[in-house]
Amino acid sequence: MPKYRLIVNPISGRGTGERSIPEVQRLLTEYGLDFDTVLTERPWHAAELAREAVVDGCEIVVAMGGDGVANEVLNGLMGAQQDGLGSSAMGILCAGRGNDLAYGVGIPSLIEEGCRVLAQGHRKTIDVGYVVGGDYPDGRYFGNGVGVGFDAVVGLEAVKMTWLSGFPSYIVAVLKTVFLYYTAPLVTLECDGETSTQRLLLVSVMNGQRMGGGFYMAPEGKPDDGLFDLCVGQAVSRAGIFALIPHFMRGTQATQEPVWTRRARKVSITAIEGSLPAHADGETLCTAGERLELELLPGQIEMICAAPQTGV
Protein backbone atom coordinates (compact mmCIF):
# COMPACT_ATOMS: atom_id res chain seq x y z
CA MET A 1 0.00 0.00 0.00
CA PRO A 2 1.41 3.44 -0.92
CA LYS A 3 2.48 5.75 1.86
CA TYR A 4 0.70 8.76 0.32
CA ARG A 5 -2.77 8.88 -1.20
CA LEU A 6 -3.74 11.96 -3.19
CA ILE A 7 -7.46 12.77 -3.22
CA VAL A 8 -8.03 15.24 -6.05
CA ASN A 9 -11.08 17.35 -6.75
CA PRO A 10 -10.72 17.71 -10.53
CA ILE A 11 -13.08 20.71 -10.79
CA SER A 12 -11.53 22.78 -8.00
CA GLY A 13 -10.20 26.17 -9.03
CA ARG A 14 -12.15 26.02 -12.29
CA GLY A 15 -10.30 22.87 -13.33
CA THR A 16 -6.95 23.66 -11.74
CA GLY A 17 -7.16 20.44 -9.74
CA GLU A 18 -7.25 18.21 -12.80
CA ARG A 19 -4.76 20.27 -14.80
CA SER A 20 -2.24 20.10 -11.95
CA ILE A 21 -2.19 16.30 -11.68
CA PRO A 22 0.65 15.65 -14.18
CA GLU A 23 2.91 18.23 -12.53
CA VAL A 24 2.20 16.89 -9.05
CA GLN A 25 2.81 13.30 -10.08
CA ARG A 26 6.09 14.30 -11.73
CA LEU A 27 7.30 16.23 -8.70
CA LEU A 28 6.35 13.57 -6.18
CA THR A 29 8.01 10.90 -8.31
CA GLU A 30 11.19 13.00 -8.48
CA TYR A 31 11.11 13.24 -4.68
CA GLY A 32 10.90 9.45 -4.55
CA LEU A 33 7.54 9.36 -2.76
CA ASP A 34 5.35 6.26 -2.83
CA PHE A 35 1.85 7.48 -3.75
CA ASP A 36 -1.31 6.84 -5.70
CA THR A 37 -4.02 9.19 -6.93
CA VAL A 38 -7.82 9.06 -6.80
CA LEU A 39 -10.34 11.62 -8.11
CA THR A 40 -13.57 12.71 -6.47
CA GLU A 41 -16.79 12.24 -8.41
CA ARG A 42 -19.51 13.76 -6.18
CA PRO A 43 -20.10 15.73 -2.99
CA TRP A 44 -18.74 14.02 0.14
CA HIS A 45 -16.79 11.53 -1.99
CA ALA A 46 -13.50 12.89 -0.63
CA ALA A 47 -14.61 12.04 2.91
CA GLU A 48 -15.38 8.47 1.84
CA LEU A 49 -12.05 8.16 0.02
CA ALA A 50 -10.15 9.49 3.04
CA ARG A 51 -11.82 6.95 5.28
CA GLU A 52 -10.91 4.19 2.82
CA ALA A 53 -7.30 5.42 2.79
CA VAL A 54 -7.09 5.03 6.56
CA VAL A 55 -8.51 1.50 6.35
CA ASP A 56 -6.03 0.72 3.56
CA GLY A 57 -3.16 1.76 5.81
CA CYS A 58 -2.04 4.91 4.00
CA GLU A 59 0.18 6.96 6.29
CA ILE A 60 -0.56 10.37 4.72
CA VAL A 61 -3.76 11.42 2.96
CA VAL A 62 -3.41 14.52 0.76
CA ALA A 63 -6.32 16.75 -0.20
CA MET A 64 -5.65 18.36 -3.56
CA GLY A 65 -8.06 21.15 -4.39
CA GLY A 66 -9.62 23.93 -2.38
CA ASP A 67 -11.08 24.28 1.09
CA GLY A 68 -14.04 22.08 0.20
CA VAL A 69 -12.06 18.94 -0.55
CA ALA A 70 -9.75 19.68 2.40
CA ASN A 71 -12.76 19.85 4.70
CA GLU A 72 -14.15 16.58 3.36
CA VAL A 73 -10.80 14.80 3.76
CA LEU A 74 -10.57 16.16 7.31
CA ASN A 75 -14.04 14.78 8.06
CA GLY A 76 -13.12 11.39 6.61
CA LEU A 77 -9.95 11.18 8.67
CA MET A 78 -11.65 12.33 11.86
CA GLY A 79 -14.56 9.94 11.35
CA ALA A 80 -12.21 7.00 10.84
CA GLN A 81 -10.25 8.00 13.92
CA GLN A 82 -13.38 8.35 16.06
CA ASP A 83 -14.64 4.96 14.86
CA GLY A 84 -11.40 3.27 15.88
CA LEU A 85 -10.35 2.42 12.33
CA GLY A 86 -6.92 4.02 12.65
CA SER A 87 -5.34 7.37 11.91
CA SER A 88 -3.45 9.04 9.09
CA ALA A 89 -1.71 12.37 8.81
CA MET A 90 -3.16 14.95 6.42
CA GLY A 91 -1.53 16.99 3.69
CA ILE A 92 -2.89 19.66 1.36
CA LEU A 93 -1.92 20.71 -2.15
CA CYS A 94 -3.58 24.02 -3.01
CA ALA A 95 -5.60 24.10 -6.21
CA GLY A 96 -8.75 25.92 -5.12
CA ARG A 97 -10.37 29.30 -4.75
CA GLY A 98 -9.47 30.33 -1.19
CA ASN A 99 -7.06 27.74 0.29
CA ASP A 100 -7.63 29.23 3.75
CA LEU A 101 -7.18 26.04 5.76
CA ALA A 102 -3.79 25.49 4.14
CA TYR A 103 -2.79 29.07 4.91
CA GLY A 104 -3.75 28.73 8.55
CA VAL A 105 -1.68 25.62 9.16
CA GLY A 106 1.40 26.80 7.25
CA ILE A 107 1.10 25.08 3.87
CA PRO A 108 2.32 27.11 0.84
CA SER A 109 -0.11 27.98 -1.92
CA LEU A 110 2.10 27.06 -4.89
CA ILE A 111 1.96 23.46 -6.11
CA GLU A 112 5.74 23.11 -6.45
CA GLU A 113 6.35 24.34 -2.90
CA GLY A 114 3.51 22.19 -1.58
CA CYS A 115 5.08 19.07 -3.08
CA ARG A 116 8.39 19.94 -1.47
CA VAL A 117 6.66 20.27 1.91
CA LEU A 118 5.09 16.83 1.45
CA ALA A 119 8.50 15.37 0.70
CA GLN A 120 10.09 17.01 3.74
CA GLY A 121 7.34 15.56 5.92
CA HIS A 122 7.36 18.03 8.83
CA ARG A 123 4.31 17.45 11.05
CA LYS A 124 2.26 19.66 13.34
CA THR A 125 -0.65 18.48 15.45
CA ILE A 126 -3.62 20.83 15.15
CA ASP A 127 -6.96 21.34 16.84
CA VAL A 128 -10.20 20.55 15.01
CA GLY A 129 -13.57 22.24 15.37
CA TYR A 130 -16.90 20.43 15.53
CA VAL A 131 -20.23 22.08 14.74
CA VAL A 132 -23.74 20.72 15.25
CA GLY A 133 -26.83 22.30 13.70
CA GLY A 134 -28.33 23.49 10.45
CA ASP A 135 -28.18 20.78 7.80
CA TYR A 136 -25.82 18.76 10.02
CA PRO A 137 -27.75 17.73 13.15
CA ASP A 138 -25.19 14.96 13.70
CA GLY A 139 -22.29 17.38 13.34
CA ARG A 140 -19.47 18.20 10.97
CA TYR A 141 -15.76 18.78 11.60
CA PHE A 142 -13.89 21.85 10.37
CA GLY A 143 -10.26 22.92 10.34
CA ASN A 144 -10.28 26.63 9.53
CA GLY A 145 -13.49 28.22 10.73
CA VAL A 146 -17.25 28.65 10.74
CA GLY A 147 -18.79 31.83 9.39
CA VAL A 148 -22.29 32.88 10.37
CA GLY A 149 -24.22 35.71 8.77
CA PHE A 150 -22.62 38.14 6.35
CA ASP A 151 -19.47 36.13 5.57
CA ALA A 152 -21.53 32.98 4.97
CA VAL A 153 -23.59 34.79 2.33
CA VAL A 154 -20.35 36.07 0.78
CA GLY A 155 -19.19 32.48 0.41
CA LEU A 156 -22.47 31.41 -1.17
CA GLU A 157 -22.27 34.26 -3.66
CA ALA A 158 -18.61 33.56 -4.50
CA VAL A 159 -19.39 29.95 -5.39
CA LYS A 160 -21.94 31.13 -7.97
CA MET A 161 -19.26 32.97 -9.94
CA THR A 162 -18.06 30.75 -12.76
CA TRP A 163 -16.39 33.69 -14.52
CA LEU A 164 -14.07 34.65 -11.67
CA SER A 165 -11.96 32.74 -9.16
CA GLY A 166 -9.61 33.26 -6.24
CA PHE A 167 -9.69 36.29 -3.96
CA PRO A 168 -11.19 38.60 -6.62
CA SER A 169 -14.35 36.46 -6.64
CA TYR A 170 -14.74 37.07 -2.91
CA ILE A 171 -14.28 40.82 -3.33
CA VAL A 172 -17.11 40.92 -5.87
CA ALA A 173 -19.19 38.66 -3.62
CA VAL A 174 -18.68 41.05 -0.69
CA LEU A 175 -19.94 43.97 -2.78
CA LYS A 176 -23.01 41.99 -3.80
CA THR A 177 -23.69 40.82 -0.26
CA VAL A 178 -23.75 44.40 1.07
CA PHE A 179 -27.00 44.78 -0.86
CA LEU A 180 -28.32 41.26 -0.21
CA TYR A 181 -27.64 40.80 3.51
CA TYR A 182 -27.57 43.94 5.58
CA THR A 183 -30.38 43.43 8.13
CA ALA A 184 -28.67 41.80 11.10
CA PRO A 185 -30.66 39.11 12.95
CA LEU A 186 -31.20 39.23 16.69
CA VAL A 187 -28.83 36.58 18.04
CA THR A 188 -27.97 35.04 21.39
CA LEU A 189 -24.26 34.26 21.50
CA GLU A 190 -22.83 32.09 24.27
CA CYS A 191 -19.05 31.78 24.71
CA ASP A 192 -17.85 29.42 27.45
CA GLY A 193 -20.93 30.21 29.52
CA GLU A 194 -21.00 34.00 28.96
CA THR A 195 -24.19 35.01 27.14
CA SER A 196 -25.21 38.15 25.24
CA THR A 197 -28.16 38.93 22.97
CA GLN A 198 -27.83 41.58 20.27
CA ARG A 199 -28.16 42.16 16.54
CA LEU A 200 -25.08 40.70 14.88
CA LEU A 201 -24.14 41.06 11.24
CA LEU A 202 -21.52 38.32 11.41
CA VAL A 203 -19.91 35.83 13.75
CA SER A 204 -16.69 34.15 12.63
CA VAL A 205 -15.51 31.29 14.83
CA MET A 206 -11.94 30.68 13.77
CA ASN A 207 -9.39 27.93 14.28
CA GLY A 208 -7.22 29.46 11.54
CA GLN A 209 -6.70 33.08 10.51
CA ARG A 210 -8.28 33.85 7.17
CA MET A 211 -11.48 33.40 5.18
CA GLY A 212 -12.31 34.14 1.57
CA GLY A 213 -8.68 34.01 0.46
CA GLY A 214 -7.78 37.37 1.98
CA PHE A 215 -10.06 38.45 4.83
CA TYR A 216 -8.18 38.13 8.12
CA MET A 217 -10.99 37.30 10.52
CA ALA A 218 -8.53 36.18 13.22
CA PRO A 219 -5.06 37.54 12.40
CA GLU A 220 -3.64 36.16 15.65
CA GLY A 221 -5.38 32.78 15.37
CA LYS A 222 -3.37 29.63 15.91
CA PRO A 223 -4.70 26.16 15.02
CA ASP A 224 -2.91 24.48 17.93
CA ASP A 225 -3.65 26.70 20.95
CA GLY A 226 -6.80 24.97 22.21
CA LEU A 227 -9.15 27.93 21.67
CA PHE A 228 -11.35 29.43 19.00
CA ASP A 229 -10.77 33.06 18.03
CA LEU A 230 -14.09 34.84 17.53
CA CYS A 231 -14.66 37.90 15.40
CA VAL A 232 -18.09 39.42 15.97
CA GLY A 233 -19.58 42.27 13.95
CA GLN A 234 -22.56 44.19 15.28
CA ALA A 235 -25.31 45.67 13.13
CA VAL A 236 -24.13 48.62 11.02
CA SER A 237 -25.40 50.54 8.01
CA ARG A 238 -24.42 49.66 4.45
CA ALA A 239 -21.96 52.54 4.51
CA GLY A 240 -20.57 51.12 7.73
CA ILE A 241 -20.04 47.74 6.07
CA PHE A 242 -18.11 49.35 3.21
CA ALA A 243 -15.94 51.18 5.73
CA LEU A 244 -15.09 47.92 7.52
CA ILE A 245 -14.05 45.94 4.43
CA PRO A 246 -10.48 47.35 4.23
CA HIS A 247 -10.00 46.59 7.92
CA PHE A 248 -10.94 42.95 7.42
CA MET A 249 -8.46 42.77 4.54
CA ARG A 250 -5.71 44.10 6.82
CA GLY A 251 -6.84 42.26 9.96
CA THR A 252 -7.38 45.53 11.86
CA GLN A 253 -11.16 45.26 12.28
CA ALA A 254 -10.89 44.87 16.06
CA THR A 255 -9.89 48.54 16.24
CA GLN A 256 -13.36 49.51 14.98
CA GLU A 257 -16.25 50.03 17.40
CA PRO A 258 -18.80 47.69 15.72
CA VAL A 259 -16.36 44.73 15.94
CA TRP A 260 -15.25 42.82 18.99
CA THR A 261 -13.21 39.68 19.52
CA ARG A 262 -13.11 36.90 22.07
CA ARG A 263 -11.52 33.50 22.63
CA ALA A 264 -13.47 30.45 23.73
CA ARG A 265 -13.56 26.67 23.57
CA LYS A 266 -17.34 26.24 23.32
CA VAL A 267 -19.69 28.55 21.40
CA SER A 268 -23.41 28.48 20.67
CA ILE A 269 -25.31 30.82 18.37
CA THR A 270 -29.12 31.03 18.42
CA ALA A 271 -31.34 33.15 16.19
CA ILE A 272 -34.08 34.94 18.16
CA GLU A 273 -35.31 37.00 15.20
CA GLY A 274 -34.28 36.14 11.65
CA SER A 275 -32.15 33.15 10.71
CA LEU A 276 -28.53 32.04 10.43
CA PRO A 277 -26.83 31.37 7.11
CA ALA A 278 -23.60 29.55 7.93
CA HIS A 279 -20.63 27.74 6.41
CA ALA A 280 -17.82 25.54 7.71
CA ASP A 281 -14.51 25.89 5.82
CA GLY A 282 -16.52 27.42 2.98
CA GLU A 283 -18.96 24.48 2.81
CA THR A 284 -22.61 25.36 3.44
CA LEU A 285 -23.93 24.37 6.86
CA CYS A 286 -27.31 25.99 6.33
CA THR A 287 -28.94 28.91 4.54
CA ALA A 288 -31.48 29.64 7.29
CA GLY A 289 -30.47 27.85 10.48
CA GLU A 290 -31.81 28.46 13.97
CA ARG A 291 -29.03 27.26 16.28
CA LEU A 292 -25.41 26.17 15.98
CA GLU A 293 -23.25 24.61 18.70
CA LEU A 294 -19.48 24.57 18.27
CA GLU A 295 -16.68 22.97 20.24
CA LEU A 296 -12.92 22.96 19.76
CA LEU A 297 -11.26 19.55 20.06
CA PRO A 298 -7.58 20.06 20.94
CA GLY A 299 -4.73 18.15 19.29
CA GLN A 300 -6.74 15.95 16.96
CA ILE A 301 -4.83 15.45 13.73
CA GLU A 302 -1.30 15.69 12.31
CA MET A 303 -0.82 18.04 9.36
CA ILE A 304 2.13 17.92 6.96
CA CYS A 305 3.22 21.55 6.81
CA ALA A 306 6.24 23.77 6.28
CA ALA A 307 8.85 23.50 9.01
CA PRO A 308 9.28 26.60 11.20
CA GLN A 309 11.97 28.92 9.92
CA THR A 310 15.08 29.19 12.07
CA GLY A 311 17.75 31.79 12.19
CA VAL A 312 18.68 35.06 13.78
CATH number at residue 149: 2.60.200.40
Question: Based on the domain organization, do 289 and 181 belong to the same domain?
Answer: yes
Question: Based on the domain organization, do 154 and 217 belong to the same domain?
Answer: yes
User: How much is the pLDDT for 166?
Assistant: 67
Burial 185-207 (b: 16+ CB within 10 A, else e): bebebbbeeeeeeeebbbbbbbb
Question: Based on the domain organization, do 164 and 145 belong to the same domain?
Answer: yes
Question: Based on the domain organization, do 160 and 273 belong to the same domain?
Answer: yes
User: How much is the pLDDT for 177?
Assistant: 80
- Tell me the Ramachandran region of residue 103: left when phi exceeds 0, alpha when psi lies from -120 to 50, beta otherwise: alpha
Is residue 44 domain-resident?
yes
CATH code: domain of residue 111: 3.40.50.10330
Question: Based on the domain organization, do 167 and 195 belong to the same domain?
Answer: yes
Question: Based on the domain organization, do 226 and 111 belong to the same domain?
Answer: no
Question: Based on the domain organization, do 151 and 247 belong to the same domain?
Answer: yes
The three-state (H, E, C) secondary structure of the chain, written as one string: CCCEEEEECCCHHHHHHHHCHHHHHHHHHHCCCCEEEEECCCCCHHHHHHHHHHHHCCCEEEEEECHHHHHHHHHHHHHHHHCCCCCCEEEEEECCCCCHHHHHHCCCCCHHHHHHHHHHCCEEEEEEEEEEECCEEEEEEECCEEEEEHHHHHHHHHHCCCCCCHHHHHHHHHHHHHHHCCCCCEEEEEECCEEEEEEEEEEEEECCCCECCCECCCCCCCCCCCCEEEEEEECCCHHHHHHHHHHHHHCCHHHCCCEEEEEECEEEEEEEECCEEEEECCEEEEEEECEEEEEEEEEEEEEECCCCCCCC
Is residue 112 domain-resident?
yes
User: How much is the pLDDT for 165?
Assistant: 65
Degrees, nearest 5: CA angle 244-151-201: 65
Is residue 291 domain-resident?
yes
Last residue of a domain, one of 121, 152, 169: 121
Question: Based on the domain organization, do 25 and 159 belong to the same domain?
Answer: no
Question: Based on the domain organization, do 165 and 56 belong to the same domain?
Answer: no
User: How much is the pLDDT for 312?
Assistant: 40
Number of folded domains that form the chain: 2
Is residue 245 domain-resident?
yes
Per-residue pLDDT for the chain (312 aa), expressed as one digit of tens each? Answer: 579 999 999 988 878 888 999 999 999 999 999 999 999 999 999 999 999 999 999 999 999 999 999 999 999 999 999 999 999 999 999 998 789 999 999 999 999 999 999 999 999 999 999 999 999 999 999 999 999 998 888 877 777 766 566 677 778 878 878 877 767 899 999 999 999 999 999 999 999 999 988 899 999 999 999 999 999 999 998 889 889 989 998 999 999 999 999 999 999 999 999 999 999 998 999 999 999 999 999 999 999 999 987 654
Q: Count of CB atoms within 10 A of residue 26's CB?
A: 11
Question: Based on the domain organization, do 145 and 189 belong to the same domain?
Answer: yes
Is residue 126 domain-resident?
no
pTM of the model: 0.93
User: How much is the pLDDT for 16?
Assistant: 84
Q: Count of CB atoms within 10 A of residue 168's CB?
A: 14
Last residue of a domain, one of 59, 89, 121: 121
Last residue of a domain, one of 103, 121, 139: 121
**Closest residue by Cα to residue 160 from 183, 140, 146, 176:** 176
Is residue 239 domain-resident?
yes
Is residue 308 domain-resident?
no
Is residue 237 domain-resident?
yes
Question: Based on the domain organization, do 50 and 164 belong to the same domain?
Answer: no
User: How much is the pLDDT for 62?
Assistant: 98
Question: Based on the domain organization, do 60 and 166 belong to the same domain?
Answer: no
User: How much is the pLDDT for 310?
Assistant: 61
295/194 Cα distance (integer angstroms):
15
Q: How many Å separate Cα 113 from the centre of its chain?
A: 20
- Domain holding 78, by residue range, is 4-121
User: How much is the pLDDT for 90?
Assistant: 98
